[in-house]
């Protein structure tokens, strides 16, 4: 088997033109009967790595996967692409199992998904021995390792695979495995000289953005309202918060619901199902939500609170944009959250508290970063990134520095004069000259720096003080009720006038408003409108078939349809994600929707690519004669014939044969090799020019 055939299968079954980085190398390793370890981020495209060998090689590929909920989804996805697949787990009854065994024996199943519990039974071994297994894929392979974060004891019994099937290639796949876990996977599975494939963990289609945690609700409402109908997740720290937020969103007319571990399992499944089926677009959830959800069209993820560490954050935002289409993320950051998380870690009294605090520090540094955020993330995962990403808030809106020495002196002096015994919000109130009771009681209104910073808002001050902490002039005394204190470096600023550079708050805020000001071009409007129509169509079809909408076509595929507006089957097949089975099953309805849209647009006076052919086509299909179409459209007869010839060429159902006689066709055929003009002359101008062209088109395509 070779890669040319693999690529052909990729197009035929999945509708994709090219492999992503590493995929072809991984597939080639299987063709060469080698064991392999595949490390790729969520959404990276791991499944293709075993699915293509499965469909191109003789026999069956056995996939061991711990996520029972996902098996059904994956099998449905494969079937909708015309691939014979089945799953075996505890949810099936004996009859169903028998039927699958039968199909297996008959060689009718290319991919068999099985739970680890089932895989380690004697029955299953017997079954495997009686069929031809071309590859064994172990998904979520980190579950084998006690080092990993999701240890599953059944996985450790999978050693038997290599012993029983020494000549069958083994592929272990995972999205999370540090060095020790990787080694553990290879050893425990007794893999033979495994080839290691470690893909980049970067997900360039996911945008990154951090905003100060102020007016979060209003900002979230704006955010969602500017993205109608998109699916998204809002992660909150507390269960209560998920409920409150969801209520608030509903009151604003946004369809949202909540999810947390305190709910009954049936309620949780319902929420998941509704989300997957695009019935409820927005879920306010604790981090309990998302595991085992394969929905590829999650378009955005918001963190209402700061996550505990970068690993968690990256995993959560990674649930967005698995289809490779553009996806947005937004993180709200505040010191208050840092303090809460710190307290939680400290009160847990865990032995690894120090590690957890260090991880929280990293998270905080990310949120406060003034350089490309993706660089920080990649760096954290020990990956080097050349250049800046261009898809984070810092890249899009580089910070503007200004001389903040006086601001710094005001803040530091206030800290000094209050004997380093106030926290951030009190300090800001003093600087801004607040008259609140506590300030007056403690006589803070009498100190020299009271009210000297009234020209800056509370938000400005918060940002300045955060920056001074980052710069190492101020620190938080966690052991003293989070009061602010000065560091040794502060002295140089206070007493020696050392210059301090700060970043303008406005440049941080303009990140917030930038989006709104963007004007939508006409082209974009058309794209959005058509996308929405196609999305609706997808939803209806999915409902009828009882499968999630993204299994019909991904958002990325619909977007490409909306952008390129294919009007023929041939054009549709060129779109990434449209394979042969999907073309057969859904091609006609989607084409019809696109054609209707184009015609409607051009009737509204818009010029849309390809519209003129379609308008003619529509009239033709209504049964109008060429003369009538000429009348209707006020175009020349030759033009209408050329449209019909074009449509015929593109494989549309146009009977051009009715426009010429057999005799004319014969005449043209005898001169076939000449140009139309030469034929016209050779036939003494007896046969009209447009008829000659029609005959030539016909002859070319039959």
Which positions lie near ligand ADP, rule CB under 6 A?
A: 16, 19-20, 23, 40, 42-48, 296, 322-324, 554, 576
Cβ distance to ligand ADP smaller for residue 323 or 664: 323
Say if residues 199 and 381 touch (Cβ distance below 8 Å). no
**Residue 82 falls in which region: left (phi positive, over 0), alpha (psi -120 to 50) or beta:** left
Question: Where is 172: in which H helix or E strand?
Answer: strand 170-174
Instruction: Work out the number of other CB atoms within 10 angstroms of the CB of residue 559.
Output: 23
Cβ distance to Zn ion smaller for residue 237 or 389: 389
Cα–Cα distance, 201 to 198 (Å, whole number): 9
35 binds, among ligand ADP, Zn ion, none (CB under 5 to 8 A by kind): none
Say if residues 360 and 336 touch (Cβ distance below 8 Å). no
Cβ distance to ligand ADP smaller for residue 53 or 324: 324
Residue 20 per-residue DSSP state: P
Instruction: Work out the number of other CB atoms within 10 angstroms of the CB of residue 622.
Output: 10
Nearest to 46 by CA among 69, 67, 63, 23: 23
Interhelix angle 689-701/662-670, nearest 10 degrees = 80
Nearest approach in angstroms of CB 582 to ligand ADP is 12
Say if residues 400 and 507 touch (Cβ distance below 8 Å). yes
Total residue length of the chain: 702
Residue 289 per-residue DSSP state: S
548 binds, among Zn ion, ligand ADP, none (CB under 5 to 8 A by kind): none
392 binds, among Zn ion, ligand ADP, none (CB under 5 to 8 A by kind): Zn ion
Nearest approach in angstroms of CB 363 to Zn ion is 17
CA angle 431/483/489 to nearest 5° reads: 80
Cβ distance to Zn ion smaller for residue 388 or 649: 388
Cβ distance to ligand ADP smaller for residue 7 or 693: 7
Nearest approach in angstroms of CB 675 to ligand ADP is 42
Question: Where is 422: in which H helix or E strand?
Answer: none
554 binds, among Zn ion, ligand ADP, none (CB under 5 to 8 A by kind): ligand ADP
Nearest approach in angstroms of CB 14 to ligand ADP is 6
Structure tokens at 440: 């007056």
Nearest approach in angstroms of CB 429 to ligand ADP is 48
Structure tokens at 515: 């989006």
Interhelix angle 689-701/637-649, nearest 10 degrees = 0
Range in contact with Zn ion (rule: CB under 5 A) among 66-74, 116-124, 170-178, 364-372: 364-372
Cβ distance to Zn ion smaller for residue 23 or 207: 207
Cβ distance to Zn ion smaller for residue 180 or 370: 370
Residue 392 engages Zn ion in binding (rule: CB under 5 A): yes
389 binds, among Zn ion, ligand ADP, none (CB under 5 to 8 A by kind): Zn ion
Sign of CA pseudo-dihedral 437, 443, 446, 451: negative
Q: How far is CA 61 from the centre of its chain?
A: 27
Nearest approach in angstroms of CB 543 to ligand ADP is 21
Cβ distance to ligand ADP smaller for residue 12 or 600: 12
Cβ distance to ligand ADP smaller for residue 20 or 239: 20
Cα–Cα distance, 188 to 141 (Å, whole number): 11
Nearest to 611 by CA among 597, 592, 624, 631: 597
19 binds, among ligand ADP, Zn ion, none (CB under 5 to 8 A by kind): ligand ADP
246 binds, among Zn ion, ligand ADP, none (CB under 5 to 8 A by kind): none
46 binds, among ligand ADP, Zn ion, none (CB under 5 to 8 A by kind): ligand ADP
Cβ distance to Zn ion smaller for residue 55 or 210: 210
Q: What share of the chain is helix, strand, coil (3-state, %, to 5)?
A: 55, 10, 35
Spatial CB neighbours of 18, under 8 Å, sequence gap ≥ 6? 7, 10
Nearest approach in angstroms of CB 545 to ligand ADP is 18
43 binds, among Zn ion, ligand ADP, none (CB under 5 to 8 A by kind): ligand ADP
Cα–Cα distance, 134 to 62 (Å, whole number): 8
Say if residues 41 and 541 touch (Cβ distance below 8 Å). no
Nearest approach in angstroms of CB 329 to Zn ion is 13
Nearest approach in angstroms of CB 277 to ligand ADP is 17
Nearest approach in angstroms of CB 120 to ligand ADP is 23
42 binds, among ligand ADP, Zn ion, none (CB under 5 to 8 A by kind): ligand ADP
Range in contact with Zn ion (rule: CB under 5 A) among 215-223, 235-243, 370-378, 453-461: 370-378
Say if residues 295 and 273 touch (Cβ distance below 8 Å). no
Residue 395 engages Zn ion in binding (rule: CB under 5 A): yes
Nearest approach in angstroms of CB 21 to ligand ADP is 9
Nearest approach in angstroms of CB 401 to Zn ion is 18
Greatest alpha-carbon pair distance for the chain in Å reads: 110
100 binds, among ligand ADP, Zn ion, none (CB under 5 to 8 A by kind): none
Residue 210 engages Zn ion in binding (rule: CB under 5 A): no
Say if residues 187 and 174 touch (Cβ distance below 8 Å). no
40 binds, among Zn ion, ligand ADP, none (CB under 5 to 8 A by kind): ligand ADP
Report the interface residues with Zn ion, using CB under 5 A.
Answer: 372, 374, 388-389, 392, 395
């Amino acid at each position: 088997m070779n890669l040319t055939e693999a690529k052909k299968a990729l197009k035929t079954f999945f509708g994709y033109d090219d492999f992503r980085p590493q995929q072809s190398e991984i597939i080639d390793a299987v063709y060469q009967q080698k064991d392999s370890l595949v490390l790729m981020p969520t959404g990276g495209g791991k499944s293709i790595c075993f699915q293509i060998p499965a469909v191109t090689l003789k026999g069956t590929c056995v996939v061991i996967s711990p996520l029972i909920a996902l098996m059904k989804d994956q099998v449905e996805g494969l079937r909708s692409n015309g691939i014979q697949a089945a799953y075996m787990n505890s949810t099936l009854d004996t009859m169903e199992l028998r039927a699958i065994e039968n199909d297996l024996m008959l060689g009718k199943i290319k991919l068999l998904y099985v739970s680890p519990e089932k895989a380690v039974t004697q029955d299953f071994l017997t079954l495997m021995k009686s069929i031809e297994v071309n590859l064994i894929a172990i998904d979520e392979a980190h579950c084998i390792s006690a080092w990993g974060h999701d240890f599953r004891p059944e996985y450790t019994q999978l050693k038997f695979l290599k012993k029983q099937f020494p000549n069958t290639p083994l592929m272990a796949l995972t999205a999370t495995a540090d060095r020790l876990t990787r080694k553990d996977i290879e050893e425990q599975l007794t893999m033979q000289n495994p080839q290691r494939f470690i893909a980049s963990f970067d997900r360039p289609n996911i945008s990154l953005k951090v905003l100060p945690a102020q007016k979060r609700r209003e900002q979230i409402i704006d955010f969602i309202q500017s993205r109608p109908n998109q699916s998204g997740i809002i992660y909150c720290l507390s269960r209560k918060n998920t409920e409150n937020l969801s209520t608030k969103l509903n009151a604003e007319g946004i369809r949202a619901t909540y999810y947390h571990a305190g709910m009954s399992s049936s309620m949780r499944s319902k929420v998941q199902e509704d989300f997957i089926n695009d019935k409820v677009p927005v879920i306010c959830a604790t981090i309990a939500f998302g595991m085992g959800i394969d929905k590829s069209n999650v378009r955005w993820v918001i963190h209402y609170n700061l996550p505990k560490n970068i690993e968690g954050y990256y995993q959560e935002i990674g649930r967005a944009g698995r289809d490779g289409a553009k996806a947005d993320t937004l993180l709200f950051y505040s010191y208050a959250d840092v303090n809460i998380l710190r307290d939680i870690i400290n009160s847990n009294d865990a032995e690894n508290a120090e590690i957890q605090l260090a991880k929280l520090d990293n998270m905080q540094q990310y949120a406060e970063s003034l350089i490309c955020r993706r660089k920080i993330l990649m760096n954290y995962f020990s990956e080097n990134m050349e250049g800046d990403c261009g898809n984070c808030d810092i890249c899009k809106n580089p910070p503007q520095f200004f001389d903040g020495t006086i601001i710094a002196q005001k803040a530091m002096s206030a800290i000094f004069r209050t004997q380093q015994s106030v926290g951030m919000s009190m300090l800001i109130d003093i600087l801004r000259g607040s008259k609140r009771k506590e300030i007056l009681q403690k006589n803070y209104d009498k100190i020299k720096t009271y009210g000297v910073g009234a020209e800056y808002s509370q938000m400005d001050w918060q940002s300045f003080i955060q920056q001074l902490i980052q710069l190492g002039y101020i620190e938080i005394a966690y052991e003293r009720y989070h009061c602010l204190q000065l560091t040794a470096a502060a002295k140089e600023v206070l007493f020696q006038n050392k210059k301090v550079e700060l970043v303008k708050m406005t440049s941080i805020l303009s990140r917030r408003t930038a989006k709104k000001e963007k004007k939508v071009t006409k082209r974009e409007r058309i794209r959005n409108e058509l996308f929405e129509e196609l999305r609706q169509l997808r939803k209806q079809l999915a409902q009828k078939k009882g499968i999630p909408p993204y299994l019909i076509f991904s958002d990325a595929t619909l977007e490409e349809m909306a952008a390129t507006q294919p009007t023929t089957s041939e054009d549709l097949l060129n779109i990434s994600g449209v394979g042969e089975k999907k073309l057969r099953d859904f091609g006609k309805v989607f084409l019809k929707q696109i054609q209707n849209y184009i015609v409607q647009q051009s009737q509204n006076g818009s010029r849309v690519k390809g519209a003129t052919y379609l308008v003619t086509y529509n009239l033709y299909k209504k049964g109008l004669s060429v003369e009538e179409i000429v009348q209707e459209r006020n175009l020349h007869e030759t033009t209408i014939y050329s449209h019909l010839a074009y449509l015929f060429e593109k494989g549309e159902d146009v009977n051009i044969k009715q426009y010429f006689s057999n005799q004319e066709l014969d005449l043209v055929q005898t001169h076939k090799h000449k140009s139309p003009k030469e034929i016209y002359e050779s036939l003494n101008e007896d046969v009209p020019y447009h008829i000659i062209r029609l005959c030539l088109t016909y002859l070319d395509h039959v």
